[in-house]
Amino acid sequence: MNKHTAEEQSGCLVNRRDFIKLSSGAVALLANTALTRNVLAGRQGRKPKPKNILLIITDQQHIDTIAAGGCRHVRTPSLDRLKTSGISFTESYSANPVCSPARSAVFTGRTSSECTVYVNGRSIRSDIPNLGQWFSEHTDYETFYAGKWHLPRTYTSKILGFKVINTGIGGFGYLCDTAMSHACEGFLRNRSKSKPFLLVASFMQPHDICEWLRLNMDNREELRYPELAGELPELPDNFEFDKNEPEAIRKTRLGNEPFKGNWGKEQWRYYRWSYYRNIEHVDAEIGRVLHALEDFGHANDTLIVMTSDHGEGMGHHQMVRKSTLYNEAARVPLLFSWPGYVSGKQTDTTHLASGMDIMPTLCDFAGIKPPENMRGRNLRSIIEGTSARSNEFVVTEVSTNTGRMVRTEGYKYITYKNDSVEQLFDMKNDPGEIRNLAARTRYASTLTEHQKLLREFESKLDVPSNVPNAGVWQHKT
Amino acid sequence: MAKKQRTIVGSPLTPTLLKELDALNKLPFTPEDFKPDGNWVSTYRIWTCHGYQESGNQNVGFLRIERIGGSDETFVLNVRQEVVQTDAITHIIDGKIKCSNNQLASPVEWKLKSEFIGADGKHISELRSGDNSIATERAERTTGDWCLFEAVQRLALDAQNSFSFDLLERMSLKKPDHRLSYRGVTLLKVDDIDIPLHCFVQLGSGILPNEYWLDSRRRLLFVTSMNKAYILDEQAEQIIGREVEESRKSYQRKREQKL
């Protein structure tokens, strides 16, 4: 199973159309024929606007978990289709690698500290509009939401600015993602094609790995399924970790199940195998929604955006889950697809992107200005290939507003409040973030530059004083 | 207030663990004349585990499967699954599956209906969907997850037997390269008596391993998979029905308080 290339996998997958459907409507093909439409619209002096927008969010998805992106341990035909039909950003970062904070940034374009969502289970500050509120007020899109919200409740039938079409069950993605994708399918089947919509399909998976960790914490001498021994993914190159890390990272690691359970290497590999199966699960559910888009005639009129709230440790640096600023937890998939308007098969490996960029980017596609004080940037010109202008850097927060990361083209700088250990990584020559350069005199000026970038960024923020450590970041360094 | 300490379960769900976690109070009774290839109805509680011993573990729905014998070549499974979600939104899948009488109960033809019921107890018409489908010749080595609930009851309890197939999950999502094999007998202690349970294991893409647990009359009692379990329970529909009612009332109370 884990030896196929993406191409082989796509070839051997059988989708629903291998069964003869007796009653479904005509199938609309994903026509990638008309980049000319984009050109024509440009000549007429206006930007094309998608009739519909579908924002797909997964929960806790490591960026390197898409077969078409080179991951050889999974079959992800649905994410492969999305990836190959549009543009994907490889340097895309969560604004805060924890569920609620990350989501607050996606839905507002502001930092999680500004939203006052510095930990899970808090609401977005009431004077900052969310995507649904902004679109309801300024566009003709009707706004719908299905699935996980977590601002503050994990699932709720009441979200400001959205009509909620389905909720879910907290912590049980395997069950509730099925209900959620069915709800989206029903919505797309019954929705009049003449009425524009913004639909958020927010899946819980692969987050079930959190339950998996608790149900597999104890050290086992033997693999529960010995027949899997030959299929388990290898350990990552950066499995070992630096003993001189900031205290916050060390504490997080020691509190995780692998350390409590004293795992052996085979158990780590079984955890990675299990995580990949959760990825395949959510991929299949995403597939149901994509098929419904096609089957009911919305595919060519819909801009699809796909991302995740944060990544997953996956054994890199012997970490699991999230809450750190290493790439495995901080980077997330970010895909844009719009047949005929966004060229397919683009992998953008140079431009930095943030979860905060989604709000201003969607506003541009919808033909409206974003709310004031966006911290994210509009990625549309990069998506459409009309400009190479990029984020000079992105900032990510973490740990109840005690940690910060600045990622520039070449380096990543990490700092925590009241911790003298800083981290600086050369992301071109050390993408696994193994060699901390912060204490090396040769990199002193690089370190200073990144500290300055962070200070300047922080000085522009509007963080309420009731947020823990609100004042720290403007003065630190 | 100090955060309440919770105990991590630590190991995968098994029938013994279900009992320890109070998901299973008594062993379901299988009549002497139970015939896996006859006509029967089995209803399972869908129970979920958050990974802690003390909290977050709950019944979230039920699955009812009715087997109706047909010709020598086919039989029918009538399936209904209800899952109750936050704020009393219930998802219901109804299916009628004509299966081949082969070892894997491969689906031949099926009708599916998915619908949602809101907190007010009314159907949400905007979310209805459904499908009628027939299998092509390529589907010979395919089976559905619900079909496997039936098939494992007819398979030989033989460790040498192993089956390879593609899974059609919920009769709609294709997941290739699955295998099912017999794992042997495990004893479950109930009232100081050791009850033998036979176990089949299913591995494959897009799922975490499923373990199917049968009693000595070959009736499927439990299916465990990571954080969920299907537990044979003739009261399952009533239990979930009560929980739906309570959930709706609670939702309405909250709404009224806000108003």
**Lowest model confidence (mean pLDDT) among A115-129, A327-341, B241-255:** B241-255
With contacts defined as CB-CB under 8 Å, which chain A residues touch B227?
A: 171-172, 174, 208, 211-212, 215
Structure tokens that stand for B169 in this block: 């999950």
Does the pLDDT value for residue B258 go beyond 80?
A: no
- Residue A285 to residue A282: CA distance in whole angstroms: 5
- SS3 sequence, A155-200? CCCCECCEEEEECCCCCCHHHHHHHHHHHHHHHHHHCCCCCCEEEE
Share the mean pLDDT of chain B. 94
**Lowest model confidence (mean pLDDT) among A165-174, A193-202, B11-20, B41-50:** A165-174
Domain ranges of chain A: 6-391
Of A223, A251, A205, nearest to A78 (Cα)?
A205
Residue B162 forms part of a structural domain: yes
Of A425, A355, A346, A330, nearest to A388 (Cα)?
A346
Q: How do residues A122-154 score in pLDDT, each as one tens digit?
A: 999 999 999 999 999 999 999 999 999 999 999
With contacts defined as CB-CB under 8 Å, which chain B residues touch A256?
A: none
pLDDT of residue A33: 38
Distance from CA of A87 to the nearest CA of B (A): 25
Of A410, A455, A411, A417, nearest to A436 (Cα)?
A411
Nearest to A169 among B11, B85, B126 (CB): B85
Q: How do residues A21-56 score in pLDDT, each as one tens digit?
A: 443 332 333 333 334 454 445 445 689 999 999 999
Provide the chain B residues 48-67 that lie in CB contact (below 8 A) with chain A: 48-52, 56, 60-61
Does the pLDDT value for residue A2 go beyond 70?
A: no
Domains of chain B: total: 1
Range of the domain at B143: 15-21+38-258
Handedness of CA A277, A279, A280, A282 (dihedral sign): positive
* A163 close contact with B: CB closer than 8 A: no
Q: What CATH number is attached to the domain comprising B208?
A: 2.50.20
Q: What pLDDT band is residue A5 in, cutting at 50, 70 and 90?
A: very low
Whole-number CA gyration radius for chain A: 22
Structure tokens that stand for B244 in this block: 């739906």
- Name the more confident of B257 and B63: B63
In order of A15, A143, A296, the CA distances from A290 in angstroms are 12, 18, 10
With contacts defined as CB-CB under 8 Å, which chain B residues touch A13?
A: 174, 176
With contacts defined as CB-CB under 8 Å, which chain A residues touch B207?
A: 277, 280-281
Q: With CB atoms and an 8 Å threshold, state whether A154 touches B48.
A: no
Q: Which residue of B has its CA nearest to A283?
A: B206
pLDDT of residue A79: 98
* B21 close contact with A: CB closer than 8 A: no
* A179 close contact with B: CB closer than 8 A: yes
- Name the more confident of B111 and A472: B111
B182-189 long-range contacts, Cβ below 8 Å, gap at least 24? B182/B155, B182/B156, B182/B157, B182/B158, B183/B159, B183/B211, B184/B159, B186/B14, B186/B15, B186/B16, B186/B213, B188/B15, B188/B16, B188/B19, B188/B27, B189/B16
* A249 close contact with B: CB closer than 8 A: no
Provide the β-strand partners of residue A335.
A88, A306
| pTM score of the predicted model | 0.94
With contacts defined as CB-CB under 8 Å, which chain B residues touch A232?
A: none
- Residue A346 to residue A336: CA distance in whole angstroms: 10
- B52 by Cβ neighbours in 10 Å (0-12 / 13-18 / 19+) ranks as middle
State CA A411 to chain mean position distance. 21
pLDDT of residue B139: 75
pLDDT of residue A40: 45
- Residue A434 to residue A50: CA distance in whole angstroms: 43
pLDDT of residue A59: 98
A78 φ, ψ (degrees, to nearest 5): -75, -45
Query: Does CATH place domain A6-391 in 3.40.50.2300?
Result: no
Structure tokens that stand for B55 in this block: 């909290």
3-state secondary structure of B109: strand
Structure tokens that stand for A239 in this block: 């499995």
pLDDT of residue A44: 54
State CA B104 to chain mean position distance. 17
Q: How do residues B184-209 score in pLDDT, each as one tens digit?
A: 999 999 989 999 999 999 999 999 99
**Interval B203-221 mean pLDDT:** 98
Any idea which residue has 């159309």 for tokens? A17
Considering chain A, what percentage of its residues have pLDDT values greater than 90? 85
* A261 close contact with B: CB closer than 8 A: yes
Are A75 and A280 in contact by the 8 Å Cβ rule? The answer is yes
Residue B189 forms part of a structural domain: yes
Q: Are strands A92-93 and A353-354 parallel, antiparallel or unpaired?
A: parallel
How is residue B141 annotated by DSSP? G
Does the pLDDT value for residue B45 go beyond 50?
A: yes
Q: What pLDDT band is residue A403 in, cutting at 50, 70 and 90?
A: very high
3-state secondary structure of A222: coil
How is residue A206 annotated by DSSP? T
Structure tokens that stand for A13 in this block: 């997958």
pLDDT of residue B136: 78
Of B208, B160, B216, nearest to B186 (Cα)?
B216
**Interval B226-254 mean pLDDT:** 94
Residue B81 forms part of a structural domain: yes
Provide the chain A residues 290-329 that lie in CB contact (below 8 A) with chain B: 292
Considering chain B, what percentage of its residues have pLDDT values greater than 70? 97
Residue B3 forms part of a structural domain: no
Of B62, B49, B47, nearest to B236 (Cα)?
B62
Query: Which residues fall within 8 angstroms of residue A308, CB to CB, at 6 or more apart?
Result: A57, A58, A59, A60, A61, A94, A332, A333
Provide the b/e sequence for A422-431 (b: ≥16 CB within 10 Å).
Answer: bbbbebeeee
Q: With CB atoms and an 8 Å threshold, state whether A18 touches B139.
A: yes
pLDDT of residue A39: 43
pLDDT of residue B5: 82
- Residue B150 to residue A382: CA distance in whole angstroms: 53
Residue B222 forms part of a structural domain: yes
Distance from CA of B160 to the nearest CA of A (A): 14
Residue B220 forms part of a structural domain: yes
Indicate the helix (H) or strand (E) that contains A454.
Answer: helix A444-459
Any idea which residue has 């995507």 for tokens? A131
